[in-house]
Amino acid sequence: MPRAQQQPGRSGTGPASAVQSVDRAVSVLEILARRGEAGVTEIAAELGVHKSTAFRLLGVLENRGLVAQAKDRGKYYLGAGMLRLAGAAAVRLDISQEGVPVCRDLADELGETVNIAVLDDDAAVNIMQARGTAAVTAQNWLGRRTPLHATAGGKVFLAHMAPALREDHLSRPLHRFTEHTVTGASVLRGELETAIERGYAATLEELELGLAAVAAPVRAHDGTVIAALSVSGPVYRLNPDRLPEVGSRTATAAAELSRRMGYGF
């Protein structure tokens, strides 16, 4: 059934209008996914809006690469940008599935909390967690966005980021979470180089007092770093003397997960 058209006399601005525009844009994508392709008139009729409104929506989606137009027929269809979004979602799903046994085994072996994080703009987001026997009171990191410069997983992403993107991030003011947080760009660059050389990054009380962590990169089939596998725990267990051993074991587990994701085949 066509959607009700906007009532005359409304300005079409403000939060309500913005939400409506987003809803309509998503509806356009759903229409094209169902039909395969459709013209402006067909889309406008199904949305219950004027053709000019449908045309504006399609223009925005086309600029973003989410829809494309067949010039010879004037029909619109889903664009390559949808593949990019779908691919990112698929990677997260694949890591979530393949990472379960790797995280569980590592958590059981080390007794600490093991997380898998993915890069989300300028933060790392934890999408999986396993707790070892010594970490029964550890906090839940799932879904938490954590800063790149103050976490082991975040430093993994920075270390393997394109140089221009990394420098852009390091040029910003970096928040100091504790007295141990590294906020100097030159010092961070040195740490990132070390992380690449030894295969893992480490932090000691940089995000929270009493918390230490190590993390290693997880790669896709083409070698791209798509996630960070981390181990975290209290500094009285993950002390400077133990960190190299835990870091090396974490790097081995991350390599195993990378193989499960197709890297090295």
Dihedral, CA of residue 10, residue 13, residue 16 and residue 22, to nearest 10: 120
pLDDT at res. 2: 46
| pLDDT bracket for residue 22 (50, 70, 90) | confident
Element (H, E) at 115: strand 113-120
* CA pair distance 120, 131, nearest whole angstrom: 23
Q: What is the pLDDT of residues 72-119, one digit of tens each?
A: 668 888 887 776 666 555 556 577 778 889 999 999 999 999 999 999
* CA pair distance 231, 131, nearest whole angstrom: 10
Query: Which tops the pLDDT comparison, 142 or 151?
Result: 151
Element (H, E) at 19: helix 15-35
* CA pair distance 42, 55, nearest whole angstrom: 11
Element (H, E) at 232: strand 225-234
**Helix-helix angle 80-110:243-260, to 10 degrees:** 140
Q: Is it the case that residue 1 has pLDDT exceeding 50?
A: no
How far apart, in Å, are the Cα atoms of 38 and each of 30, 73, 144, 212?
11, 10, 40, 54
Q: What is the pLDDT of residues 33-59, one digit of tens each?
A: 888 888 899 999 999 999 999 889 998
Q: What is the pLDDT of residues 240-258, one digit of tens each?
A: 999 999 999 999 999 999 9
How far apart, in Å, are the Cα atoms of 87 and each of 60, 77, 141, 226, 238?
21, 18, 24, 12, 36
Domains along the chain? 15-89 (1.10.10.10), 92-261 (3.30.450.40)
Q: What is the pLDDT of residues 179-238, one digit of tens each?
A: 999 999 999 999 999 999 999 999 999 999 999 999 999 998 889 999 999 999 999 999
Mean pLDDT for the stretch of residues 169-175: 93
Identify the residue whose tokens are 């190590």: 214
- The phi, psi pair for 11, rounded to 5°, reads -75, -25
pLDDT at res. 14: 62
